[in-house]
Chain A
Amino acid sequence: MNIVACIKRVPATETQPKVAADGMGLDHSALEYMLSFYDEIALEEAIRSKEAHGGEVTALTLGPTEASKELRDCLARGADKGRVSLDPACHPREPRTTPTPTAATDTARGAELVFCGRQATDRDNAAVGPMLATMLGWSCVTDVIELHIDGTSATAKRESERGIEHFRFTLPAVITCQKGLNEPRYAGLKGIMAAKKKPIEEAEPMLVESATEVVGVSLPPARPAGRIVGEGPDAVPALLEALRTEAKVL
């Protein structure tokens, strides 16, 4: 079975962002990057699917050349190949609309399973997975917390406000991975050594013009300063009084 894990290099979650001088995006000059949190879960599920059903895992990213660092980490954890669809403009694009799925379609076409994260922790779009599936005409279940594959039939569970939703579908499929689906493994020394010999391919993707115009980017307004109402259990009446008369939430 050919399996693809779509991964993205994103600003580290500790980032306290700055707005770029033109006011149209993020200042990228002093950022630290990481593999997007949910993509670790996507990669893990891809590797587990390979372990259970055989085949090969390709870790795919649309991004700058530097993203091969994150791909190398994926190879160390157990992916077989990496592929960067080069897109130097990946970061300023906001929010990315069709380019990522378009770039992914070629690689995905020969696959039975594509795993994405629930959302990339930079733009928080939660859109690429189901968009890609729709473009391919495939099944897709999002925010998956449990997955069973049996030949080309599959079932998955996801959580919504309605409860735990159970879905039935057939492969090929795109699955977007939610926390709880698995515990991602770390790369061991052996994996890190093995990763050095695994291939990372660079490709020129077919880029589609963005259908989004950025009007402006800003930092959220700061919250007005609060106050300490007191210490220990004795402060409880003062807190209740504040909640009742000032904040009016009781």
Chain B
Amino acid sequence: MSKIIVFVEANASGTANRASLEALGAAKSVGSDVVAVSYGIGGAALDAPKHIALEGESYSPDGTAADLAAIFAEEGATAVFLASTGVGRDVAPRVAALLDAPCFSDVTELSDEGGLVFTRPTLAGKLITRVRASGANGAAVATLRRNCFGAAEDGTTAGAGRPAAADLKAILTEIAAKEGGKLDVSEAPIIVSGGRGLKEPANFKLIEDLAAAFGNAAVGASRAVVDAGWRPHGEQVGQTGKTVAPGLYIAVGISGAIQHVAGMKTSKVIVAINKDPDAPIFKLADYGIVGDALEILPVLTEAVKGAMAGA
């Protein structure tokens, strides 16, 4: 059985982020023993038999990696799990290098088959690969994709403080909030994405209105409109943008090019609005409306407002 170290990172408000709690939940489901190592949550209680809270003056990914590698050795662990977030993906390969272990990124499934087997998408999800660690020490480092594993319960184990590594190379000096505290596509349960079919940047107001009607939706975009400067890079969904898997993905005026689809095809429910009945996006969509997005969006927004008010 595996003894797993799980890194629990903080979100902007200083509480454990959801993706980390999912990594913790995943570790508890396949590991015989779990040690949570947190940073930045003030030692708040976690659902783990043991919880070490790193305490440092400054955050550094190399420092955190050194701490995780040291704790791995002290605990005699077999694996290190992190969330597949900007922070987790930054730290994980460094831990792997320190442990001389493979780094499995963006794992979507785990199983114990006489040792952990990791399932992960490659080629932007066009291929599914199952791998296991086969090094001399059998160690593995993995980042776990969001929304694939059940989160750990509320915890009771407060963090025992431990001074974080002090020999830091890249030092975090500031975290600037994103504009307007907008919900990021990688975290939103609902995404309304627009493409070139919106015709001009001003028409994205219609996409924003629909997202606002849901209340908990983020605005996404195809690469075509990001490259045209209509929308910021951070909103791009796809092979060279963000990979998303929300509960509901609404693609408006997006043709469904293979590179876009790669980033959203594991969404739970997909809706497409496109004036071309032969657009490839309809092959993927659970529900489609054929027609002019500029006419359909305002009606849909009103209907969603009504539905939300009634809910």
Contacts and interface: CB of A to CB of B under 8 A. Distances in A.
B122 A167 contact: no
A142 B89 contact: yes
B131 interface: yes
Contact of B288 (A13, A140, A229): A229
Given A122-B122, A168-B170, A249-B248, 10 more contacts: A98-B97, A125-B105, A127-B96, A158-B90, A163-B178, A210-B102, A211-B135, A228-B288, A239-B287, A247-B269
Interface string A127-142: 1111111110011111
B61 interface: yes
A213 B131 CA distance: 6
A55 interface: no
B236 interface: yes
B104 interface: yes
Interface string B72-101: 000000000000011101101110111011
A237 B303 contact: yes
B97 A239 contact: no
Nearest to B295: A233
A94 B89 CA distance: 18
B123 A140 contact: no
Interface stretch (A69-77, A80-88, A186-194, A214-222): A214-222
Nearest to B97: A134
Contact of B123 (A17, A162, A168): A17
B285 interface: yes
Contact of B102 (A95, A156, A219): A95
Contact of A161 (B11, B113, B258, B266): B11
B98 A134 contact: yes
A218 B128 contact: yes
A162 to B, nearest CB: 5
A231 interface: yes
A239 B311 contact: no
A132 B101 CA distance: 13
A227 interface: yes
Given A95-B122, A122-B123, A243-B248, A127 B105 contact: yes
A140 B17 contact: no
A201 B131 CA distance: 34
Given A131-B96, A134-B94, A226-B282, A249 B170 contact: no
B124 interface: yes
Interface string A177-214: 00110000000000000000000000000000011111
Nearest to B171: A168
A229 B289 contact: yes
A21 interface: no
B234 interface: yes
A131 B271 CA distance: 40
Contacts of A16: 126, 258
A19 B132 CA distance: 19
Nearest to B111: A215
Nearest to B126: A17
Contacts of B134: 210-213
A169 B127 contact: no
Interface string B105-129: 1100000010001001111111111
A236 interface: yes
B293 to A, nearest CB: 10
Interface in B113-163: 113, 117, 120-135
A235 interface: yes
Contacts of B202: none
B131 A131 contact: no
A161 B186 contact: yes
Given A126-B93, A231-B291, A233-B295, A240 B307 contact: yes
A101 B285 CA distance: 41
B97 A211 contact: no
Given A223-B284, A243-B287, A216 B307 contact: no
B1 interface: no
A219 B17 contact: no
Nearest to A135: B97
Contacts of B93: 125-131, 134
